[in-house]
Amino acid sequence: MTTADLLGKILQVVGGLAIFAAIIGLLFFFLDKAPKRGKDWVQLFVFLAPALFLLILGLIYPAIRTSLLAFTNSRGEFNGADNFVWMFTQPAILNTLLNTVIWVLLVPIISTTIGLAYAVFIDKSRGERFYKALVFMPMAISMVGAGIIWKFVYDYRQAGDEQIGLLNQIVVWFGGEPVQWLQTSPINTFLLIIVLIWIQTGFAMVVLSAAIKAVPTEQLEAAEIDGTNAWERFTNVTLPGIRGSLVVVITTISIATLKVFDIVRTMTAGNFDTSVIANEMYTQAFRAAEPGRGSALALVLFILVLPIIIYNVRVMRKQREIR
């Protein structure tokens, strides 16, 4: 990086921020100068229009356009449901769809279970905050970084050589032969799934820990006076008390899992039968110059997320009615 490069970059950021500030300033300047009559409308426009404009341009219009593109071929001509026929007949793509199903079945359930167990185990213990930070930390780092961290764990050296990947070393300690983990299907998909579980468990743990603390102690004490043991108190008092949070955690992790891209891209780039929908969409649309197929995959992803969107919208509308 030369000094001129750096200067250019700084100039861009400073200039960008200055121009942005100037535009906002100008908008408010005209708002102040607006005539008294109709001022409410000008005000509404100034506050709402920039965001709305960007949302329509950046999300709503593109989403509609992608839905239409899903029914075109690589030259942009309408080709009916060909892309979907392709998707469900091509073994490689069927494998991609199957992988996505495996991901979305395993990650939410396992990370929620471990997160919940951990939250219960460390609840009110000494050093609870420290314990939480350890498991929650992966949530702060990038999935690319997480991918590298785990790729190192899965690293392979020939049998006989000293292993530098922890997993193969453990295998060797137990008298086994080292395995090329990431190249070996189908176990490689499960090893990638572990990375996302590693990331999402912290999220489940923090949300559920807060929920556990909100369970009234009176109920737990009442159950204890009645002579129940810890496990009975957990299943009969705590678990019903945190049901709402459990639903939130599982749906949230499901969405994140459906969209998983970075982990697969970094660790295997979708090779060796590890691809998932989000990765295949990128490959088709931006590497293989097949925008139609890529869009069809995006549409499938959208349809998979749709029930969760509808559910969340309904929950929110109910909450707003209560207020």
Rounded to 5 degrees, what are φ and ψ at 78?
-60, 130
Contacts of residue 57, Cβ cutoff 8 Å, sequence gap at least 6: none
CB of 88 to other proteins, least distance (A): 19
As a whole number of Å, the CA-based R_g of the chain is: 26
CB of 73 to other proteins, least distance (A): 14
Could you give the CA distance from residue 247 to residue 239 in angstroms, rounded to a whole number? Answer: 12
Question: Would you count residue 113 as binding other proteins (CB under 8 A)?
Answer: no
Cβ atoms of residues 294 and 281 within 8 Å: yes
Query: Which residues between 207 and 236 bind other proteins (CB under 8 A)?
Result: 207, 210, 216-217, 219-224, 226-230, 232-234, 236
Burial of 264-287, coded b for 16+ CB within 10 Å and e otherwise, reads bbbbbebeebbbbbbbbbbbbbee
Residues in the chain: 323
Sole binder of other proteins in the list 28, 78, 105, 244 (CB under 8 A): 28
Q: How many residues bind other proteins (CB under 8 A)?
A: 136
Instruction: Tell me the H-state helices in the chain.
Output: 3-33, 39-55, 61-69, 82-89, 91-122, 128-136, 143-153, 166-173, 187-214, 217-225, 230-233, 239-241, 243-258, 262-267, 277-282, 291-322
CB of 81 to other proteins, least distance (A): 19
Query: Which residues between 37 and 76 bind other proteins (CB under 8 A)?
Result: 40, 43-44, 46-48, 50-52, 54-55, 57-63, 65-67, 69
The nearer residue to other proteins, 50 or 80, going by C-beta atoms, is 50
Could you give the CA distance from residue 230 to residue 223 in angstroms, rounded to a whole number? Answer: 10
Cβ atoms of residues 154 and 169 within 8 Å: no
Query: Which residues between 164 and 183 bind other proteins (CB under 8 A)?
Result: 164-166, 169
Could you give the CA distance from residue 288 to residue 18 in angstroms, rounded to a whole number? Answer: 39
Question: Would you count residue 131 as binding other proteins (CB under 8 A)?
Answer: yes
Cβ atoms of residues 166 and 174 within 8 Å: no
Listed residue (276, 254, 265, 266) closest to 111, CA to CA: 254
Question: Would you count residue 262 as binding other proteins (CB under 8 A)?
Answer: yes
CB of 90 to other proteins, least distance (A): 19
Alpha-carbon separation of residue 43 from 24, 51, 55, 56 (angstroms): 13, 14, 19, 20
The nearer residue to other proteins, 106 or 139, going by C-beta atoms, is 139
Question: Would you count residue 272 as binding other proteins (CB under 8 A)?
Answer: no
Question: Would you count residue 150 as binding other proteins (CB under 8 A)?
Answer: yes
Question: Would you count residue 18 as binding other proteins (CB under 8 A)?
Answer: no
Contact region for other proteins (CB under 8 A) — 77-85, 87-95, 99-107, 132-140? 132-140
Could you give the CA distance from residue 82 to residue 293 in angstroms, rounded to a whole number? Answer: 9
Question: Would you count residue 121 as binding other proteins (CB under 8 A)?
Answer: yes
Question: Would you count residue 246 as binding other proteins (CB under 8 A)?
Answer: no
Sole binder of other proteins in the list 87, 191, 237, 242 (CB under 8 A): 237
Question: Would you count residue 78 as binding other proteins (CB under 8 A)?
Answer: no
Question: Would you count residue 252 as binding other proteins (CB under 8 A)?
Answer: yes
The nearer residue to other proteins, 185 or 219, going by C-beta atoms, is 219
Question: Would you count residue 138 as binding other proteins (CB under 8 A)?
Answer: yes
Question: Would you count residue 322 as binding other proteins (CB under 8 A)?
Answer: no
Question: Would you count residue 190 as binding other proteins (CB under 8 A)?
Answer: no
Question: Would you count residue 101 as binding other proteins (CB under 8 A)?
Answer: no
